[in-house]
Amino acid sequence: MAVSPKTRIQVWGESAARCAHCKEQLIYSEDSGLHESLIGEVCHIFAQGKNGPRANPHISPEELDSANNLLLLCRKHHKYVDDHPELFPVERLAEIKIKHIEWIVRQLSIAKSWDCNLATLHYLNIPRLTILSAMSGEMVTYDIDTSRGLYCLGEKLLGVMVAYQGLLEKMHPKVIDMPDFAEPYDDQIGMIFKFSDRFRTKNAPWPDREANYSNYLKGDIAKDPQVYKKFGDWKLVMIIDPMWITTSTAFCDFAPSGGHNIFSGLAMVKTINHDDKIITATPLVMGIPKSPLHDIFNMDINEMPRTIDV
C-alpha cells in the first residue's frame, strides 16, 4: 500500500502546509517567489512497514495509509522522529498532531470565511487552490493539461472556470482581512488574506494562445508581471504568473492603459523583506469584484419583482 495522492493533499491541507512539530512553512521558494518546492513529508505515526518505527501488526494497511495515521512534518523532523521512536512514541506524535490542529484553529480564530465576491475569475492558481480546497474540506482536483498555461486550454477553459466558480462559492475558506502592511511582522508569512482594492499594474504580457507561459517568470521583481500597492514605506507586490491568467479580458485587465485596476481575491503572504521594505504575496485567485448592482442585473427572471395589481 502507499498513501494515495488524495490523502496526501488532505494531510497537507489539514496541516495548513506547516510542520506539525516546528510550524515551518513547507512550501519553499527563494525570495523571488519562483520555483516552489514542497519540502514537507507525510510521516506515518504507526509505521507502514512491519519493522519500521512504531510498527503495529494489528493495524490494517488501509488504516496505516489513512489521514488519521499521518502527520505532516519538515524533512528534519520526519527523520528525527523516525530515528528516535523511543522519544516519539505514538502517544507523543498523536499529541503533536492534536496540538498543531489546535494551533491552526487559534490562527484562524481571527479569520472569517470568505464569500467569493468575484464577477469574473481572472486568475486561478490551480496548485494553490488545490491545497486551499483541502484546507476547507472541499477537495477538488482536475485532470487537465495546464502545462502551457490556462489561457492555452482554449474552449476547455470554460469548464474549468465554471467548476472553480462553483467550488469557490461553496467552500468559504477561512482567511484574514488584508493586514495593514505598513507594519508587517514575520508571523504573517504563510497567512492567507482577502483583498478588494485598487492596485498598480506592471509588466503584464499580451495574450497569445500559441505561447508557452510555463517559464515566463524570471524571478526579477523589476521585470516580472505584478500588481502592487504601497502601504506607507512598504510595498506589497503580488507576482502574476501568466500561467494562471484565464481570458483575453483578464490579460488586458492586468495591463490596463491607466496602469491600475481594482482586483478582489485571495493571496498568501510569501516573504517580508525588511531591508527593501517589500512584502511579496502569491495570489491564489483574483478577479474583478461584483458591483453592488451585479445581483440585480443577474437576477433570475423568476425572482424578479412582479407588477402588483392594484
- Identified binder of Zn ion from the candidate list 11, 16, 17, 19, rule CB under 5 A: 19
> Which residues, 279 to 308, sit near Zn ion by CB under 5 A?
none
**Is 97 among the residues that bind Zn ion (CB under 5 A)?**
no
Q: How many residues bind Zn ion (CB under 5 A)?
A: 6
Stretch that binds Zn ion, among 22-30, 187-195, 226-234, 256-264 (CB under 5 A): 22-30
**Per DSSP, which regions of 103-191 are E strands?**
112-113, 123-124, 174-177
- The CA distance from 217 to 36, in Å, is 12
**Residue 41 in grid coordinates:** 513529508
The three grid cell numbers given for residue 65, joined into one nine-digit string: 495509509
Give the shortest CB-166-to-Zn ion separation in angstroms: 36
Alpha helices in 2-155 (DSSP H): 5-14, 61-64, 75-83, 90-108, 126-135
Closer of 23 and 277 to Zn ion (Cβ): 23
Applying CB under 5 A, the span of 28-36, 54-62, 66-74, 296-304 interacting with Zn ion comes to 66-74
* Nearest residue to 263 via CA among 200, 213, 169, 174: 200
Here's the x/- map for Zn ion, 27-56, by CB under 5 A: it reads as ------------------------------
| Choices 71-79, 233-241, 263-271, 274-282 (CB under 5 A): range interacting with Zn ion | 71-79
DSSP state of 196: E
6: left (phi over 0), alpha (psi -120 to 50) or beta: alpha
Residue number, 10 or 25, with CB nearest to Zn ion? 25
For the four alpha carbons of 38, 108, 194 and 230, in that order, the dihedral sign comes to: negative
Q: Which of 42, 45, 71, 74 binds Zn ion (CB under 5 A)?
A: 74
Tell me: does residue 93 bind Zn ion (CB under 5 A): no
Residue 5, classed as helix, strand or coil, is helix
Enumerate binding residues for Zn ion (CB under 5 A).
19, 21-22, 24, 74, 77
